[in-house]
A = this chain, B = another copy of it.
Amino acid sequence: MVDLSIDIAGLRLKNPVMPASGTFSEDLAGVFDLERLGAHVTKTITRGVREGNPTPRVCEAGGSMLNSIGIPSKGATAFLEKVVPFYRQYETPLVVSISGNTADEFAALCEQVSVDGVAAIEVNISCPNVEEDGKAFAIRPSSTYEIMQRLSAASSLPLWAKLTPNCGEVPDVAKAAEDGGADALVVSNTILSMAIDIQSRRPKLGNLMGGLSGPCLKPIALRMAYQCARAASIPVIGCGGISTAEDVIEYMMAGASAVQVGTATFIHPTAMLTILEGLEAWLVAENIASVRDLIGCVIDGEQDLATSAMAVAQ
């Protein structure tokens, strides 16, 4: 028997495969047994009610997808009344994703969702900070540090900071999140993108721009996961373009302790199970006793990260 269990900042997961926020909901319980997952991660909520963006909210681009859903939210109260109780029926840990436009709002929500039945909070700091001209908290080390300090003071639950690829200083941001009190890093959210329908001359998304997810994101998010695992000492949860067991192995070799599967679930609703089974079969075939043996095992010759980034010399 292969040991698939993983520890994320004191939280034990029976396996390293969980859904990515916004690509999962109670509805998937109609398709397979959600107890099989390593964790349950809910769609990001905000404190108040939000409508979300105009449609079309998704489109295809180059074999991947763009979305601009805009975080519609029924608000924290409705979430605590309806969603959290649903997940109490499972032993699988529940991770709640939250976001806020200001540090105060964010911190208040963080406190509010720190309730029984919630095992960890994923803090979506890739969201815009209205006090900073709309720039995401996670695009700068300084704003990352500040928001993480506020949030970690607001809850005693483990906080997973979800980073953004729209950033030129990923290792610094990872370090700043750790220093600010993050217990784990989720790497990463979608990358800002656009597509235009040349016949109608209109953007393919109602909101002009949206986030790229799926296969195209993988080499980018994998690089970030690697950078973060080397820059910070807290666990990294890889996310971006994962659709096969091989993808999971690649992320774990790069340093991720667990992974989140997003868009692949839209394409193959049972993708997370297929991935889990593939992962287990691969470990058996390779005679590896524990999935934890994969974490960070890439043979990188300890090349210096900054030097490598410099040598890319784009």
Contact = CB atoms under 8 A, between A and B. Distances in A.
Nearest to A133: B306
Choose among A127, A135, A196, A298 the residue with the greatest number of B CB atoms under 10 Å from its CB.
A196
Contact of A208 (B124, B167, B308): B308
Contacts of A226: 194, 208-209
A128 B62 contact: no
Interface residues of A, number: 76
Interface string A191-228: 11111101011110001111110011111101100100
Nearest to A71: B313
A114 interface: no
A189 B314 CA distance: 6
Interface in A48-81: 53, 61-64, 66, 68, 70-71
Nearest to A243: B62
Contacts of A99: 313
A92 interface: no
A5 to B, nearest CB: 21
Contacts of A169: 135, 139, 168
B61 A312 contact: no
Contacts of A38: none
Interface stretch (A6-14, A151-159, A248-256, A268-276): A248-256
Interface string A223-253: 1001000000000000001000010011001
Interface of A: 44, 53, 61-64, 66, 68, 70-71, 99, 124, 126-128, 130, 133-136, 139-140, 164, 166-169, 189-196, 198, 200-203, 207-212, 215-220, 222-223, 226, 241, 246, 249-250, 253-254, 297-300, 303, 305-314
Given A128-B309, A134-B310, A209-B312, 8 more contacts: A62-B241, A135-B168, A168-B169, A194-B219, A194-B222, A200-B299, A203-B300, A211-B312
Contact of A220 (B71, B164, B192): B192
B66 A219 contact: yes
Given A216-B219, A309-B192, A140 B126 contact: no
Contact of A201 (B71, B202, B222, B297): B297
A214 to B, nearest CB: 9
7 contacts: A62-B215, A62-B218, A164-B314, A203-B298, A207-B312, A209-B226, A212-B219
Contact of A314 (B61, B126, B216): B126
Closest 9 CB pairs of A and B: A139-B168, A193-B219, A216-B216, A194-B223, A128-B310, A134-B310, A126-B314, A208-B308, A61-B219
B246 A299 contact: no
B68 A208 contact: no
B306 A192 contact: no
